[in-house]
Structure 1
């Protein structure tokens, strides 16, 4: 109970200080351990149906995505991006349920050059790769049914439906 009360007092004091100085709020947020939390773990895991979900980097991108025999969905995200936080679990669930595609997650803040190579200008951006080439993409949030349809189309090699646009 004491910890809760102390945390509440600290938060109340911080809010009061930040009302007076928005710059202080931004500085506190950047320094906060909570702001350092990762959206995704780097441990690869397989869904019940088989789809592999993992985080990758620019150094591993060729091996993990371009050289993959399995169609791979790439989720370009940032930890500070609220739509990314909403889309991440939805796309992970859809990939795990489909089981015929992999999902590579790339933090653009840590992989700026790779994001630039693929002209990522908005987040979240989701790209599908097959045979080392991008075949489809969409930007922003989508409903779960549209995400599932996008992944199904990528897995089957058919033209991508309403969730994304064909390249």
Structure 2
């Protein structure tokens, strides 16, 4: 199962107002490294316990890209209590992604 898709319109509700941590994957269809990271994100989404995993299509979310100063993708951001907790840019291992949630 893939991460839940989140748009600019529902980002506030699904991410910022979430009562559990949220791992957000900013990606794009044309992005090779995003495609490399995608299976890892899907695996983590399937195993998520105590957090949720969502995906934001960067091409369709320019206001979010600007707000969070995302200049390269894939970018992973963990939000806790509506605030940026940790962030990573580029392809990383499953263990490194899970470390972001700690």
- TM-score normalised by the chain length of structure 1: 0.57
CA RMSD after TM alignment: 1.6
1:142 alignment partner, one of 89, 92, 100:
92
Structure 2: runs of 5 or more not aligned = none
Q: Distance in 2 between matches of 1:115 and 1:144?
A: 24
Q: Corresponding residue for 2:37?
A: 87
- Structure richer in helix, relative to its length: 1
Give the count of matched residue pairs.
102
Q: Matches of residues 14-163 of structure 1 in structure 2 within 5 Å?
A: 53-151=3-101, 153=102
Q: Distance in 2 between matches of 1:96 and 1:148?
A: 13
**Post-superposition CA distance 1:110-147 (Å, at most 9, x none):** 11111111111001000000100011000001122222
SS state at 1:92 partner:
helix
Where relative contact order (Cα < 8 A, 6+ residues apart) is larger, the structure is: 2
Q: CA deviation at 1:76?
A: 0.4
- Structure richer in strand, relative to its length: 2
Larger Cα-atom Rg: 1
Q: Distance in 1 between matches of 2:56 and 2:34?
A: 11
Structure 1: runs of 5 or more not aligned = 1-44, 47-52, 154-167
- TM-score normalised by the chain length of structure 2: 0.91
After superposing on structure 2, the runs of 4+ consecutive aligned residues of structure 1 that deviate more than 3 Å are none
Q: Distance in 2 between matches of 1:100 and 1:85?
A: 25
